[in-house]
Structure 1
Amino acid sequence: MARTLETSVVQDPSDGFRLLPHLETRPPDLRVSFDVLGSGRIRARMSGTAVPALQGTEHKADLSAGPDEVLAAAARLCARWKERFVDFQPVDDRGRALLDRRRPYATAADLSSEPEDELSRALADLARGGESLLFDTLLGGDDERTGVFRGYLRSALDREGLRVRFDSDLHLPWSMLCTTGHSTASATPLHTLFTRFLGHRHQIEHTGDAYAWTGPPRSAPARPAVSLNHDVRVGRATRADEVAKALAEGTTCVTRTTYDDLVRDFGNPDLDEQLTYFWCHGEFIGNEPEPRVLVLRLTDGAPFDGHTVRELRARHRHSRFRPLVLLNACHAGVSGAGVDRAFLGRMLIGHGAQGVLGPQTAMPQAFAAEYALEFVTRYLRGEATAGRITHELARHFAARYRNPLGLAYGLHCGMDVRLDRPHGGAL
């Protein structure tokens, strides 16, 4: 006589395939890795179609620079952008500040009416610093293998239009680094100076963690779900209101203004957003010997950081939370190596975010709002990837506004992330 047998499923043998969306990603044209080894050495590797394949070996070198030296140089470069560009103050022949030109590069996004010789001097200084960090500090030294590696990398980066991934234990401002140049500032046109920056030449992303997130693929919602997380007091004299309108057009948009709002929603296992936008102040806090980390503050001023993200999202590893995060908060140019600039981004990515885009130095509110308006408008169309838009905006602000601050926005993962819209539709 037939009878029903009781069954108990104790294992899902398909998980190994169902939870591997990263296998579908197209590889970059150039992948450059910088691994920090246990001895404090940095090992560099390089691969991809942009560099020649070597018979019986690979592009690899152990560098002479140490992690602390490199991170300190990166912090100095970010501070240099703030001091020499964002805070630039013209003076008269007697060294007195010109009252009619108060910090001209910080108060407007369009610098097309500013004197070209001043802009050229500032940009040449930033380019020299970006080149030195890459080739003299990180890849410096007389070791033969390092020299060969440096030559191959320089040759690849001198090209244009590559998709470049810096897979690195060291979080550096890659888009602000530069190719080699030999001209003096007075003899170099602005366009030529702009083209030296890696962010102007290539699509760039920074990665680091292996298998940062594995979860089931998602289908496109009928209306994109987005959020505006902001301090309502920030940027009142900017185009911030237009950014808010762009976020809300044709979407389901949630607005959060307090720490409690963030905790409520980030703790929700069903949180599901395609674009998460932060418009607020950011600062680095912490005590030695631990590195200081970035915290965000909305209207109520309570700190929200990577530790908070981990507390709220650790139990929801396979949720539908898969946004691109636009972190439009000032990363103040803090000097020294004891600063973890990437911690918040790593926590967001490790708990679901497909990528994090944000400024790598102190960013004037006037420019930050202009950048956000351009990025949000283009991204919500669903026609281009985050990497392509970031690259286009770096060139857009350089060509139209003669402003290099678009190069200071760095993409942590997410180069190939695109807003999915039903049936490939766009706004």
Structure 2
Amino acid sequence: MTTRVVQDPSDGFRFLPHLQTQPPDLRVSFDVLGGGRIRARMSGASVPALQGTEHKADLSVRPDEVHGAAARLCARWKERFVDFQPVDDRGRTLLDRRRPYATVADLSAEPEDELRRAVADLVRSGESLLFDTLLRGEDARTEMFRSYLRSALSQEGLRVRFDSDLHLPWPMLCTTDDSPATSATLDGLFSCFLGHRHQIEHTGEAYAWIGPSRTPPQPPTVSLNHDVRVGRATRADEVAKALTEGTRCVVRTTYEELVRDFADPDLNEQLTYFWCHGEFIGNVPEPHVLVVRLTDGTAFDGHTVRELRARHRHSCFRPLVLLNACHAGVSGASADRSFLGRMLIEHGAQGVLGPHIAMPQAFAAEYALEFVTRYLRREATAGRIAHELARHFAARYRNPLGFAYGLHGGMDARLNQTSGSEA
């Protein structure tokens, strides 16, 4: 008999992609309320359930102060680590060691005492931002919240979601157990970073993308969006080659190519990789926003994404975006570091992975090569790969810069190989 469907209110259950992943082990929310108040909430299997109530506290700190402290932390990483310059007993620059932490990715040959002192400073700043600035307060509710959160974050291997109106460099924040071993060894210091302990993602959008599920193309489509002049002395060429293995790779080097393809309603990429410079631009009193520039130097930002993708709300554009764009310049609270990522996610991206600081090109290329290779091999989710790489570079290369990469959404994103019959 011939069947005709006259009503399908569920639309074939296709518009429920947000129900397809398991909940995180720990979810911490920081909501900015009227008057600049911040309300903190916490839930998940890693914290005890409370009878008749919930983990909640109204904090005494204000958003501007938190953003300022976060900008200071990022600047401190650049000053104390990336730009670290050894000198001799007379204070003269050692010509054979010019910015040793920025010129190579592997720091295993560097003096460990120097590394330990630099990393100890970053740990102290990262813990202070989390517990002495964001969660400071002597009232009973704040003290309880702080205690429960510290206990949860002191565990290992959790899937943590910071669902927050405050965009902070969460993997760079720290928690310590005050043991002598932690302060005495470099490995002990590395273990203090939240990015070493857990898989972490930042979210904040409500129903960021709800649309029909699509069968991914085979082979998967990826793109390389780059400034050809960046990173010539690094492993950038190997990253470009890795992107072509078993994929259909689209290469873009100009703003016009980006605009042409982002305006296409049928744009369907599984991995979108940016390798270029970035900077913050804007006018007072509006916040400065991150823009990226390819070879032609024309600025591409979140506003451009909105202009091109707003009319394609339910398209098949669902990539993971690796935004390997170094940025410098504005470092204060007036810089909206998350706007480009928010716009990409709002208009389809599963998540955006990128550095919170101005990343040295040598390390950025090494990181991208490892991530792209593992992701295209379908080894794990983006969150697990980012977590493994942070620990990998710390253990093997003695380099903490892997903790400076953060996921904006996308912790559970992965490259699935789905045939038409399976779909």
Which TM-score bucket, shorter chain as reference? over 0.9
Structure 2 Cα separation of the partners of residues 91 and 143 of structure 1: 46
Counterpart among 394, 399, 404 of residue 398 in structure 1: 394
Q: Deviations over 1:46-71 (max 9, x none)?
A: 00000000000000000000000000
**2:38 equivalent to 1:25:** no
Structure 2 Cα separation of the partners of residues 38 and 251 of structure 1: 48
CA 1:180–1:333 in structure 2 vs 1: closer, same or farther (change >3 Å)? Answer: farther
CA 1:66–1:200 in structure 2 vs 1: closer, same or farther (change >3 Å)? Answer: same
**What amino acid does structure 2 have at the position aligned with 1:284?**
F
Q: Deviations over 1:89-125 (max 9, x none)?
A: 0000111110000000000000000000000000000
Structure 2 Cα separation of the partners of residues 263 and 393 of structure 1: 32
Q: Is the 8 A contact 1:398 1:406 kept in 2?
A: yes
Structure 1 Cα separation of the partners of residues 154 and 309 of structure 2: 41
- The 3-state SS of whatever aligns with 1:328 is strand
**2:344 equivalent to 1:376:** no
Q: Is the 8 A contact 1:109 1:367 kept in 2?
A: yes
| Deviation at residue 17 of structure 1 after TM alignment | 3.6
Structure 1 Cα separation of the partners of residues 370 and 95 of structure 2: 31
Counterpart among 203, 206, 209 of residue 210 in structure 1: 206
**2:172 equivalent to 1:172:** no
Structure 1 Cα separation of the partners of residues 181 and 290 of structure 2: 35
Q: Is the 8 A contact 2:279 2:329 kept in 1?
A: no
**What amino acid does structure 2 have at the position aligned with 1:356?**
V
Counterpart among 57, 61, 65 of residue 65 in structure 1: 61
Structure 2 Cα separation of the partners of residues 16 and 285 of structure 1: 44
Counterpart among 379, 404, 407 of residue 403 in structure 2: 407
Structure 2 residues without counterparts, runs of 5 or longer = none
**2:359 equivalent to 1:363:** yes
2:220 counterpart residue number: 224
| Deviation at residue 184 of structure 1 after TM alignment | 7.5
Structure 1 residues without counterparts, runs of 5 or longer = 1-6
**2:316 equivalent to 1:310:** no
Q: Deviations over 1:307-334 (max 9, x none)?
A: 0000000000000000000000013373
1:201 counterpart residue number: 197
Q: Is the 8 A contact 2:211 2:315 kept in 1?
A: yes
1:287 counterpart residue number: 283
**What amino acid does structure 2 have at the position aligned with 1:164?**
V
Q: Is the 8 A contact 2:287 2:334 kept in 1?
A: yes
2:274 counterpart residue number: 278
Q: Is the 8 A contact 1:226 1:253 kept in 2?
A: yes
**2:154 equivalent to 1:124:** no
Structure 1 Cα separation of the partners of residues 172 and 101 of structure 2: 17
Q: Deviations over 1:273-298 (max 9, x none)?
A: 00000000000000111100000000
Q: Is the 8 A contact 2:215 2:419 kept in 1?
A: no
**What amino acid does structure 2 have at the position aligned with 1:152?**
Y
Structure 1 Cα separation of the partners of residues 92 and 133 of structure 2: 36
Structure 2 Cα separation of the partners of residues 118 and 308 of structure 1: 44
Alignment of 1:236-255 (within 5 A): 236-255=232-251
Q: Deviations over 1:234-288 (max 9, x none)?
A: 0000000000000001100000000000000000000000000000000000011
Q: TM-score scaled to structure 2, two decimals?
A: 0.96
Structure 2 Cα separation of the partners of residues 186 and 206 of structure 1: 27
Q: Is the 8 A contact 2:273 2:322 kept in 1?
A: yes
Structure 2 Cα separation of the partners of residues 243 and 199 of structure 1: 24
Q: Is the 8 A contact 2:30 2:166 kept in 1?
A: yes
Alignment of 1:70-149 (within 5 A): 70-149=66-145
Structure 2 Cα separation of the partners of residues 127 and 50 of structure 1: 24
Moved more, 172-181 or 148-157: 172-181
Moved more, 150-159 or 16-25: 16-25
Structure 1 Cα separation of the partners of residues 8 and 342 of structure 2: 29
Structure 2 Cα separation of the partners of residues 345 and 143 of structure 1: 35
- The 3-state SS of whatever aligns with 1:146 is helix
Q: Is the 8 A contact 1:121 1:186 kept in 2?
A: no
2:188 counterpart residue number: 192
**What amino acid does structure 2 have at the position aligned with 1:74?**
A
Moved more, 183-192 or 226-235: 183-192
Alignment of 1:276-355 (within 5 A): 276-332=272-328, 334-355=330-351
| Deviation at residue 423 of structure 1 after TM alignment | 5.8
Counterpart among 383, 388, 403 of residue 387 in structure 1: 383
What RMSD, in angstroms, separates the aligned Cα atoms of the two structures? Answer: 1.8
- The 3-state SS of whatever aligns with 1:228 is strand
**What amino acid does structure 1 have at the position aligned with 2:184?**
T
Structure 1 Cα separation of the partners of residues 56 and 378 of structure 2: 38
Structure 2 Cα separation of the partners of residues 178 and 60 of structure 1: 21
**What amino acid does structure 1 have at the position aligned with 2:80?**
R
CA 1:16–1:222 in structure 2 vs 1: closer, same or farther (change >3 Å)? Answer: closer
Q: Is the 8 A contact 1:120 1:186 kept in 2?
A: no
- The 3-state SS of whatever aligns with 1:407 is helix
Q: Is the 8 A contact 2:27 2:160 kept in 1?
A: yes
| Deviation at residue 218 of structure 1 after TM alignment | 1.7
| Deviation at residue 185 of structure 1 after TM alignment | 10
Moved more, 14-23 or 155-164: 14-23
How many aligned positions are there? 417
Q: Deviations over 1:199-228 (max 9, x none)?
A: 000000000010000011122322010000
**2:415 equivalent to 1:419:** yes
| Deviation at residue 414 of structure 1 after TM alignment | 0.4
CA 1:283–1:17 in structure 2 vs 1: closer, same or farther (change >3 Å)? Answer: same
